Amino acid sequence: MKKTKEPAVAVIGAGYWGKNLIRNFFNLKALKAVCDRNSDALLPLRELYPSCDIVSSLKDVLARNEINGIVVATPAETHFILAREALLSGKHVFVEKPLTLYEEEAKELIDLAQKKSLVLMVGHLLQYHPVFTVLKEFVSHGDLGRINYIYSHRLNLGKIRREENILWSFAPHDISMILALAGEVPESIMATGGNYLHKKIADVTTTHLEFSSGLKAHIFVSWLHPFKDQKLVVVGDRKMAVFDDTLPWEEKLLIYPHQVKWENNLPVPTSGTAEKISIPYAEPLKMECEHFLRCIENNLQPLTNGEEGLRVLRVLNTAESSMNNNGLKISLKNNAALSERTKADYYINPTTQVDDAVKIGAGTKIWHFSHLITGSQIGENCSIGQNVVIGPDVVIGNGCKIQNNVSIYKGVKLEDFVFCGPSAVFTNVINPRAAISRMSELKPTLVKKGASLGANCTIVCGHTIGSYAFIAAGAVITKDVPDYALMAGNPARQKGWICQCGNKLNAKYRCPQCGKKYKIKANQGLQITT
């Protein structure tokens, strides 16, 4: 490989982890500048690293030609914009985990780095741990046999964060290691979490991964744990391995000759004494920093490159979606390149509140400041606008469109492809009183397939809106509505019949727009004939 000029880096971010990166790159004689907007964070660095520029302006750092590498050690929400600016300035980039918060942003960084022939590396530190490197060799060489199960624990009391939950804070390292050992991405993911300190930030999560090869794995992370536990266990059918990062160096990797054999159709476990694997000591972070410098100098692809970071991000996002759906198992399509991003099953705007036990179908989009209350079920490919209230225990079918400011309360069910215009309202009690609880007197309302409810209409509870019925804007529904009926007024009265396509039928029950013909059938309302 053709060498570039001597690596020279600047570290952006002098916080908790940034200080460790600064120390290592300085000791490797590659640190030229440190940048942080917090002047208090920079103050002690001026004495520790007098030969380096300690500055607050990112623009000045990016303008320096002698600096060819940028290390991003800032909060996760800033990773994309800082990494993008650095790449656009022609700098190689090392960004701490996670690569970004959104898959589209990660893909943009990957494409930009490829276009400019620049290094893009993600700080999945444990991939550079000498113990993990040896463990990976054991797995790849088949020393453990067929790998049946992998699990990891990353538990401690603190460091508690408020900008991200425990899944995003702790689990990326474990996901990265498990994917490296598996050599494939999971087929499906299921995750659950517990929120104890803040209602919107998980403090404890368990994530289950299932792979097409039959391998299964789980990741347990918590910052509310009575003791520190950092353990990766690999269960093979010949041997088992334990990487315990809390133990002394000489005991960090143990190989157990445990097996389960079948005798007389019964499983019989056999065990033996664990073997301590001797591994020369090296600081993992130093190894990671050296790797980045080597990639810059020799135009190499990092072990943890942008695509590897994207794979980890996909798992994180899918696990988050599963948590938001009460532990629902979510499929993740595999592909040979392991680089194609998978679209999220649904979209929820960050301003929207989704309570526990809410199920949301694939392809659904939920926009600003809405509230989905406990027990509600939203179908696939729905569009839910701003400031919408749904629930509790509301059922909404597939393909529904619910416009801004609609309120859908308990007792209401929408079948597939129902349209609710802006500010449409459903009631669920006939005679409400603030001082009297009448939740036991709820009267159900059913809106059947394809019906349209106009803006500002009111649906009084206890009635059924027929299939493809059309409720005009401002109408007040006080009785059942037949299929295909056109209703308007207060109280609403039938003004004619409506076609499936949404146009009013003529006197011969034919649609002037699409040509469909209907007929009146005794006691059955309107029916399509052609």
- Alpha-carbon gap, residue 146 to 139, rounded angstroms: 9
C-alpha to C-alpha distances, 121 to 60, 210, 285, nearest whole angstrom: 23, 27, 14
Distance of CA 16 to the CA centre of its chain: 25
Question: Of 61, 60, 55, 51, whose CA–CA distance to 29 is shortest?
Answer: 51
Backbone angles phi, psi at 347, to 5 degrees: -120, 130
Q: Structural domain boundaries of the chain?
A: 9-124+285-301, 127-281
To the question of domain 9-124+285-301 being in CATH 3.40.50.720, the answer is: yes
Task: Kindly give, in sequence order, each residue whose CB lies less than 8 Å from that of residue 406, ignoring residues fewer than 6 positions away.
Answer: 385, 388, 389, 420, 421, 422, 423, 424, 425
CB 55 within 8 A of CB 35: yes
Q: Can you give the pLDDT of all 530 residues of the chain as single tens digits? A: 455 578 999 999 999 899 999 999 999 999 999 999 888 888 899 889 999 999 989 999 999 999 999 999 998 889 999 999 999 999 999 999 999 988 889 999 999 999 999 999 999 999 999 999 999 999 999 999 999 999 999 999 988 887 789 999 999 999 999 999 999 999 999 999 999 998 888 999 999 999 999 999 999 999 999 999 999 999 999 999 999 999 999 999 999 999 888 888 888 898 899 999 999 999 999 999 999 999 999 989 999 999 999 999 999 988 988 888 888 888 875 322 223 323 347 888 767 888 878 889 988 999 888 999 999 999 999 999 999 999 999 999 999 999 999 999 999 999 999 999 999 999 999 999 999 988 888 999 999 999 999 999 999 999 999 999 999 999 999 999 999 999 999 999 999 999 999 999 998 899 998 889 998 876 667 887 76
- Provide CATH code, domain 127-281: 3.30.360.10
Q: Which pLDDT belongs to residue 3?
A: 55
DSSP three-state, residue 208: strand
Q: For residue 364, what are its two tokens?
A: 């659904």
pLDDT for position 490: 96
Residue 407, class by beta-carbon neighbours within 10 Å (0-12 exposed, 13-18 middle, 19+ buried)?
middle
CA 344 to chain centre: 7
pTM of the model: 0.64
Please name the helix (run of DSSP H) or strand (run of DSSP E) that holds residue 132, with its range, or none: helix 130-140
pLDDT the model gives residue 39: 85
Structure token pair of residue 131: 């113990």
pLDDT at residue 332 in the model? 75
Given the structure tokens 């989905």, which residue do they identify?
Answer: 372
